[in-house]
C-alpha cells in the first residue's frame, strides 16, 4: 500500500483502487479547488484544498469501516465514494454551487453524470488517458452504486453523507488546523470508534451524547468565527455575482465549461472578463457592509426571497442610490438549519435523535438564528447612500454595521 503524508492524519494508506482514482484528471483537479474558498482572505493560512480533504475523508471512512467490521465489495464501493465525494464541485466549491444548481439542476453531490457518461471526465474538453469512470469499471466497481453512496443513499452511504458522516469530521479538524482556530478540533478517533449500525441506521454507541454534541458545537463555533465571517461572505458574494456575469456573456464560458473549471481558471477569467469585480477579489479590495441586519429586523418575505428577487433588489437599490448595479451586492443567506440535530445516539439502550437526547440542540438552533445576518455590500464611498436605499427597498429595520 502506498501512503501519502497528510498534515492532519499523518500517513494515509491508499489501496490500489484509490491510487488509480487519485491519478485521474477529475481527482487531480481537486488540487486546484480550495476547501474554504474565500475564507483565506480572513485566515491567510487556510489554503488547503479539496484534494487533501478528500484523502482525509477516505482515510476516516477506512477507519470507520474497519471498526464496524465491514470489508470486501461493500467497503470498496464506500471507500471509493468517500474519495470521490467532492469531484462534482465547481470552482471555489460551495461558492458557485447555487449558480451551477440554477443552470443544471444538480448539487455537487449528484455526480452520476460524471461517473457514467464516458465523455464527462474530460475537463476543458481534452482527452484523458483514464477517467474516474474507466478506473471504477476496470476495478470491477459499479459507478452508479458509488454515485448513490455519494448522495448519502443506503445504509453505508450515511457514512459519507449523513448526520454522522466522516466528511464533516475531516473538514472540521482540517479547517481548524489550517485556519489556526481551535474550535473544529473534535475527537475523530473517538467518533469513528463509537459508530454502530442499529436497524440500518448509523448511530453513536452508548455514552456518547457529549461526543455527538461536540460535533454540533464545533460546527456552531466554526460557523460564526470562520465559515460565515463577514469578510469571507463579502468576497464570496462578489465572486458569485462576477461568475454570473461571466456566464451571462455570450462569448466566454458556458455552464458546462464553468462547472469543470478550477479556482485558478475562474480567477483569471474573472479578471479578464469581469475586471470591476475580478481584480478586487484577486487583491482583496473588497466592498464594505452598508447593511448588516438581524433576522428580527428583516421582513419575512425578504428572508425567503428568490435569487431573482435578490438580483432585482440590487438593481433597485443601485438605481435609488444612483450607482451602477455591479456596485451593489445583496446577500440573503438561507434560513439556518441544523442537520446534526438528527444524529442518532444510543441512550440507556435506546436509539434517540440527538435533539431528544441533548439539551443543547434547541439552544444551538436559537444561536444559529441569532447569528443570521442579511448583508448589503458596496464600495466604501457609497456605503451611506446604499444603506439608505437598501432600507427603503428591502424594508430592513435597523441595518447596523457591527
Cell for 128?
Answer: 484523458
Phi-psi region of 223 (alpha: psi -120 to 50; beta: other; left: phi over 0): alpha
Q: Who's near 150: CB < 8 A, 6+ residues apart?
A: 81, 84, 85, 88, 109, 111, 157, 160, 161
**Angstrom distance (rounded) from CA 93 to CA 142:** 26
Cell for 74?
Answer: 461493500
For residue 236, the minimal CB distance to a copy of itself (Å) is 16
**Angstrom distance (rounded) from CA 386 to CA 289:** 9
Q: Which is nearer to a copy of itself, 234 or 389 (CB)?
A: 234
* Contact between 97 and 108 (Cβ < 8 Å): yes
Q: Which is nearer to a copy of itself, 124 or 342 (CB)?
A: 124
**Angstrom distance (rounded) from CA 107 to CA 101:** 6
Q: Which is nearer to a copy of itself, 285 or 392 (CB)?
A: 285
Q: What are phi and psi of 353, to 5 degrees?
A: -75, 145
Cell for 206?
Answer: 452508548
Q: Which is nearer to a copy of itself, 139 or 177 (CB)?
A: 177
For residue 120, the minimal CB distance to a copy of itself (Å) is 16
For residue 304, the minimal CB distance to a copy of itself (Å) is 22
Place of cell 487531480: 28
Q: Which is nearer to a copy of itself, 91 or 162 (CB)?
A: 91
For residue 142, the minimal CB distance to a copy of itself (Å) is 26
Q: What are phi and psi of 292, to 5 degrees?
A: -150, 90
Residue 190 CB: number of other CB atoms within 10 A? 12
Q: Who's near 363: CB < 8 A, 6+ residues apart?
A: none
For residue 268, the minimal CB distance to a copy of itself (Å) is 5
* Contact between 170 and 215 (Cβ < 8 Å): no
For residue 335, the minimal CB distance to a copy of itself (Å) is 16
Q: Of 176, 181, 375, which Cα lies nearest the Cα of 287?
A: 375
For residue 37, the minimal CB distance to a copy of itself (Å) is 13
Q: What number of residues does the chain have?
A: 402
Q: Which is nearer to a copy of itself, 171 or 305 (CB)?
A: 171
Q: Which is nearer to a copy of itself, 1 or 256 (CB)?
A: 1
For residue 367, the minimal CB distance to a copy of itself (Å) is 4
For residue 148, the minimal CB distance to a copy of itself (Å) is 27
Q: Which is nearer to a copy of itself, 187 or 244 (CB)?
A: 187
**Angstrom distance (rounded) from CA 373 to CA 385:** 20
For residue 154, the minimal CB distance to a copy of itself (Å) is 28
Residue 189 CB: number of other CB atoms within 10 A? 11
Q: Which is nearer to a copy of itself, 196 or 311 (CB)?
A: 196
Cell for 110?
Answer: 449528484
Q: Which is nearer to a copy of itself, 225 or 312 (CB)?
A: 225
Burial of 212 (0-12, 13-18, 19+ CB in 10 A): buried
Query: In the beta sheet, which residues pair with residue 330?
Result: 376
Amino acid at each position: 500500500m502506498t501512503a501519502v503524508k497528510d498534515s492532519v492524519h499523518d500517513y494515509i494508506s491508499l489501496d490500489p483502487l484509490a491510487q488509480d482514482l487519485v491519478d485521474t484528471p477529475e481527482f487531480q483537479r481537486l488540487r486546484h479547488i480550495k476547501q474554504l474558498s474565500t475564507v483565506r482572505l480572513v485566515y491567510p493560512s487556510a489554503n488547503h484544498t479539496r484534494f487533501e480533504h478528500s484523502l482525509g475523508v477516505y482515510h476516516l471512512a477506512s477507519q470507520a469501516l474497519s471498526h464496524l467490521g465491514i470489508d470486501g465489495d461493500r467497503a470498496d464501493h464506500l471507500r471509493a465514494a468517500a474519495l470521490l465525494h467532492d469531484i462534482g464541485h465547481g470552482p471555489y466549491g460551495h461558492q458557485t454551487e447555487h449558480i451551477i444548481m440554477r443552470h443544471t439542476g444538480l448539487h455537487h453531490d449528484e455526480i452520476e453524470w460524471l461517473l457514467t457518461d464516458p465523455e464527462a471526465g474530460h475537463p476543458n474538453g481534452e482527452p484523458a488517458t483514464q477517467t474516474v469512470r474507466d478506473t471504477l469499471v476496470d476495478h470491477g466497481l459499479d459507478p452508479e452504486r458509488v454515485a448513490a453512496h455519494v448522495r448519502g443513499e443506503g445504509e453505508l452511504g450515511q457514512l459519507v453523507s449523513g448526520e454522522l458522516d466522516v466528511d464533516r469530521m475531516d473538514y472540521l479538524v482540517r479547517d481548524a488546523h489550517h485556519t489556526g482556530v481551535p474550535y473544529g478540533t473534535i475527537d475523530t478517533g473517538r467518533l469513528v470508534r463509537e459508530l454502530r449500525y442499529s436497524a440500518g441506521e448509523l448511530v453513536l454507541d452508548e455514552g456518547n451524547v457529549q461526543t455527538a454534541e461536540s460535533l454540533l458545537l464545533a460546527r456552531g463555533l466554526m460557523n460564526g468565527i470562520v465559515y460565515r465571517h463577514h469578510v469571507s461572505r463579502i468576497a464570496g458574494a462578489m465572486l458569485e455575482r462576477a461568475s454570473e456575469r461571466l456566464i451571462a456573456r455570450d462569448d466566454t464560458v458556458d455552464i458546462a465549461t464553468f462547472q469543470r473549471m478550477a479556482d485558478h481558471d475562474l480567477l483569471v477569467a474573472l479578471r479578464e472578463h469581469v475586471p470591476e469585480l475580478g481584480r478586487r477579489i484577486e487583491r482583496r479590495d473588497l466592498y464594505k457592509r452598508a447593511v448588516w441586519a438581524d433576522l428580527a429586523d428583516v421582513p419575512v418575505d425578504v428572508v425567503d426571497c428568490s435569487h431573482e428577487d435578490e438580483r432585482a433588489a440590487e438593481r433597485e437599490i443601485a438605481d435609488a442610490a444612483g450607482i451602477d448595479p455591479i456596485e451593489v451586492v445583496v446577500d440573503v443567506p438561507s434560513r439556518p438549519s441544523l442537520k446534526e440535530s438528527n444524529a442518532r445516539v444510543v441512550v440507556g439502550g435506546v436509539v434517540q435523535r440527538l435533539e431528544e437526547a441533548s439539551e443543547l440542540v434547541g439552544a444551538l438552533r436559537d444561536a444559529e438564528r441569532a447569528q443570521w445576518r442579511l448583508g448589503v455590500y458596496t464600495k466604501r464611498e457609497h456605503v451611506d447612500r446604499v444603506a439608505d436605499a437598501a432600507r427603503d427597498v428591502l424594508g430592513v429595520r435597523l441595518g447596523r454595521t457591527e
